[in-house]
Amino acid sequence: MARFLFVLLYAGLVWARSQAVLADTQISKVLVPGHNKAYFTRIPKEDQLFKVSYFDIYPNPPKLWNHAFLYLEGTIREHQLPGLSNATVRFSGECPDKLEDSEPFRRLSDMEGLLIRNYQNWSDGKLVGSKNQLLWEHVILWSRLQSSIGHLDADEDGVKRWNCSFETTVQLPDKRILWSFQQDFELRWPACEEDCCD
């Protein structure tokens, strides 16, 4: 009888511990350092090969018809990574319809509007196994969203609001993830003035 009770108690402890781990995994969001509201995705922060020093978004949140600037600085954890110059990027999310690149992954160095600098060479536009800086400029165009938000009702101030979510994942040819994070934000049309944004 004592052995039976011990087995039940042990099973209960294992079950409780597993539930706690599952709950933490589902609700915890590890924030990305810097001026942003992004959080790490896909794999834990410590397992991503790019150690983020800071990630800044301006304006934050982005606004329609405005230039958005995204600045990322960090260090590649390993100095010799095969295929680093062929790292690929994928964007996905919703705004409000599902967004996904027609090409699931494309070379990071081929992205329009992206500047990559590193501490070995300030102009070659490739990631290296040390410190890297990336600056990307992008404009969210109203014309691309008009058909997807036409059904949305405006509020009492005549403003349409909808939630957006963007995830960026950059990986090596062998599928190991350099970095992956996501930001959720609200877009408004007409776009709000500076004093009504975070």
pTM, full prediction: 0.74
* Radius of gyration for the alpha carbons in the chain, expressed in angstroms and rounded: 21
Is 78 contained in some domain? yes
Burial class (CB in 10 A: 0-12, 13-18, 19+), 2: exposed
Is 67 contained in some domain? yes
Is 34 contained in some domain? yes
In tens, the pLDDT along 64-92 reads 778 889 999 999 988 788 898 899 999 88
Q: What is the DSSP letter of 65?
A: T
What stretches of the chain adopt beta strand conformation (E)?
39-40, 50-58, 67-76, 88-94, 98-100, 106-107, 114-118, 131-139, 160-171, 177-189
Dist CA 117 CA 127 (whole Å): 8
Beta bridge mates, 56: 71
Give residue for tokens 């059904």.
Answer: 151
Is 124 contained in some domain? yes
Is 37 contained in some domain? yes
Dist CA 9 CA 177 (whole Å): 40
42 Rama sector, left if φ>0, alpha if ψ -120 to 50, beta otherwise: left
- Residue 192: the pLDDT is 59
- Residue 187: the pLDDT is 80
Tell me: pLDDT of 49 over 90: yes
- Residue 146: the pLDDT is 55
Is 89 contained in some domain? yes
Dist CA 53 CA 131 (whole Å): 9
- Tell me if 65 sits within 8 A of 142, measured CB to CB: yes
Q: Predicted confidence band at 63 (pLDDT cuts at 50, 70, 90)?
A: confident
In tens, the pLDDT along 139-176 reads 776 555 555 555 667 777 777 778 888 899 999 999 99
HSE on the CB side for 162, CA within 13 Å?
21
CATH number at residue 133: 2.60.40.770
Is 19 contained in some domain? no
- Residue 25: the pLDDT is 45
Residue numbers of the domain that contains 166: 29-193
Is 76 contained in some domain? yes
Q: How many domains, in total, are found in the chain?
A: 1
